[in-house]
Structure 1
Amino acid sequence: MTDPTQEPSSPDYFSVADGPRPDYARLFRLDGRTALVVGGGSGIGRESALALAAQGARVVVADRDLAAAEATVAEADGASYDGGLVTHELDVTDEDAVRQSAAELGVVDTLVFTAGTNVRKRVLDYSGEEFDRVVGLNLRAAFDLVRAFGPGMAQRGRGSIIGLASMRAVMVEPGQGVYAATKAGLLQLLRTVAAELGPQGVRANTIAPGVVGTPLTTQIRADEEWAGAYATKSALGRWAHPGEIAGAVVYLASDASSFVTGSQLVVDAGWTAVDGRFTPPG
């Protein structure tokens, strides 16, 4: 029973702010932490897995294509990857498999989901099956992953959830409507997760890449005119290597971003900052 004569204790708002400064030499290190990279068999997922391991994390490379996950681990052979990498076969469109993976893998400090798909069609040409397929992998799977791994993070009082959205979360073009809707949905989903799990010490953010050379963009890169138009739209005038997105993943997984949550980190070479493709004279 509360003593009415006793002053209520005040929350400690400043314990971290008044504490020692971070160890800047180890700001991006991930030693002793486990990271799960979903979609780690190719593209941004593969490079993110390698980058996290290089900073000392033990990385679980999850992919429904186990051979692709094994190829990612093979990339690290003979290199200096302090944390090590292991494979895990997982189809994230199978809700039961996601839940089972959370039980099997145990402590996961960082959850990264990069798996995604796209059907490039105008909205009126889309079928219901295509809509369900894109939404199922890009958004529903993220929802299931958060529900499976978020409770453990909240119980431990720490964790970083990182979703790969896209600049399409805020900018769209014909033929990208459903994909864009899923990426906007992912952004809002993780903003909500940030709000709901922040009091338990769990952070949630998205990364919004621009045009990146991955299997998902093969169709565009095969068309020289299309690929060139995309390249010249950005301030840097080129496509990104998947490894150029991995730095953002390491940042959001590490203590370097300890005060960052509910954010979208845009890595798009200035695409969303540049107005149009034509430079006026003068």
Structure 2
Amino acid sequence: MTSPFDLTGRRVLVTGATQGLGSDVARTLAAAGCDLVLSARSRDALETLAQALVTEHGTRVEVVPADLADADDTGALAAAALATFGGLDVLVNNAGISVPQRVVDVDAATWDRVLAVNLRAPALLGSRIGRAMAETGRGSIVNVSSVAGSLALAEHFSYSASKAGLLMATKVLALELGPSGVRANSVSPTVVMTEMGQRVWGEEAKAAPMIARIPLGHFAQPSDVSNAVVYLASDASAMVNGVDLTVDGGFSAA
């Protein structure tokens, strides 16, 4: 019997693929058998990752550099990704940025860039790629959001607003594309111990109060989120649509 988690031959676009969580998501999807279109700003970093995935897993991997703060670049990425393997079966909107600012210090340029990358880009990709998926009668869109989209986080005004918007955008994608066989869901982690997570939360004195609020008693590892993405991309979640899968060890249950 074929495993519902077998993604052999599925064509997937992963944004923000070269750093931290995005890199782990790409590796996990490659291990599951996916053919990948990887996007980030740096071509060199993309090509290095692509070569590693081809060597390790023998899957097809192509790269499309793009700056998702630019709406034209985002549209070009959608077109290029759809053309690479003759369509897409899965879209993983992983790219995101955070610029910590107090509410009273927020500036228009930072607000606009965070909202452009974290909300406008995945919305445009979901719209354009979702339309192409709908024409084939199937597809899965997975948006990487954050617990900060549903629980207020100090000094993250633009970030929390962008992730809250992404949660609702996901629901509208699910509502409108569902009748055509396309599912849309989100994943919302708390702190993930990527290299950036280690830098920000690696100090025990700073991490301890946050960990004390997580019932499982530890932060998430990249694989915790990547495995959730694979689940939502796979046939194992065939009846899951419009859902936010929280990966936070129970943090938001308190």
Q: TM-score scaled to structure 1, two decimals?
A: 0.83
Q: Does 1:269 align with 2:249?
A: yes
Aligned length: 250
| Paired-residue identity, % | 37
**Distance in 2, Cα, partners of 1:126 & 1:104:** 35
**What do residues 89-117 of structure 1 show as CA deviations (whole Å, max 9, x unaligned)?**
12222222222233333201100011111
Secondary structure of the residue aligned to 2:212 is: helix
Could you tell me how far apart the structure 1 residues matched to 2:163 and 2:112 are?
Answer: 14
Q: What corresponds to 1:188 in structure 2? A: 168
Q: Secondary structure at the match of 2:79?
A: helix
After TM superposition, the structure 1 = structure 2 runs for residues 34-49 of structure 1, keeping only pairs within 5 Å, are 34-49=11-26
Does residue 1:158 correspond to 2:135, yes or no?
Answer: no
Q: Secondary structure of the residue that 2:179 maps to in structure 1?
A: helix
* Structure 1, unpaired ranges of 5+: 1-22, 276-282
CA distance in 2, matches of 1:58, 1:77: 10
Tell me the equivalent position of 1:65: 42
Per the TM alignment, residue 205 of structure 1 is displaced from its structure 2 partner at its CA by 0.5
Cα 1:84/1:132, change in 2 over 3 Å: same
> Are residue 119 (structure 1) and residue 71 (structure 2) matched?
no
Q: Which sits farther off after the overlay, 88-97 or 239-248?
A: 88-97
Structure 2 partner of 1:86: 62
**2:14/2:37 contact within 8 Å kept:** yes
Amino acid at match of 2:141: I
Aligned partner letter, 2:122:
A
Q: 1:240 to 1:196 in 2, by over 3 A?
A: same
Q: Deviations over 1:23-49 (max 9, x none)?
A: 5x4200112210000011111111111
- Structure 2 equivalent of residue 102 of structure 1: 78
Residue pair 2:220, 2:247 contacting (<8 A) in 1 also? no
Q: Distance in 2 between matches of 1:236 and 1:73?
A: 35
SS at match of 1:76: helix
Per-residue CA shift, 1:190-238, capped at 9, x if unaligned?
1001000111111000000111023554652254422232223212222
User: Offset of 1:184 from its aligned partner?
Assistant: 0.8
Q: Rg larger in 1 or in 2?
A: 1
> Partners in 1 of 2:114 and 2:68 — Cα distance?
13
Q: Is the 8 A contact 1:211 1:231 kept in 2?
A: no
TM-aligned CA distance change 1:48 to 1:270, over 3 Å: same
Which amino acid in 1 is paired with 2:212? T
Do the aligned residues in 1 keep the contact of 2:68 with 2:116 (CA within 8 Å)?
Answer: no
Question: Counterpart of 2:69 in structure 1: which amino acid?
Answer: T
Q: Deviations over 1:134-163 (max 9, x none)?
A: 111111111221122111111111111111
Determine the structure 2 residue equivalent to 1:246.
226
* Matching residue of 1:221: 201
Closer/same/farther in 2, CA of residues 104 and 117 from structure 1, 3 Å limit: closer
Give the structure with the larger helix fraction.
2
- Spell out the pairing of 1:22-33 with structure 2 (5 A cutoff): 23=1, 25-33=2-10
- For structure 2, the residue ranges without an aligned partner over 5 or more in a row are none
Q: Matches of residues 5-24 of structure 1 in structure 2 within 5 Å?
A: 23=1
Whichever residue aligns with residue 255 of structure 1, its letter is D
Write the distance in 1 (CA, Å) between the matches of 2:104 and 2:64.
Answer: 38
* Deviation of 1:267 (Å): 0.6
Query: How high is the TM-score relative to the length of structure 2?
Result: 0.91
Partner of 2:62, secondary structure, is strand
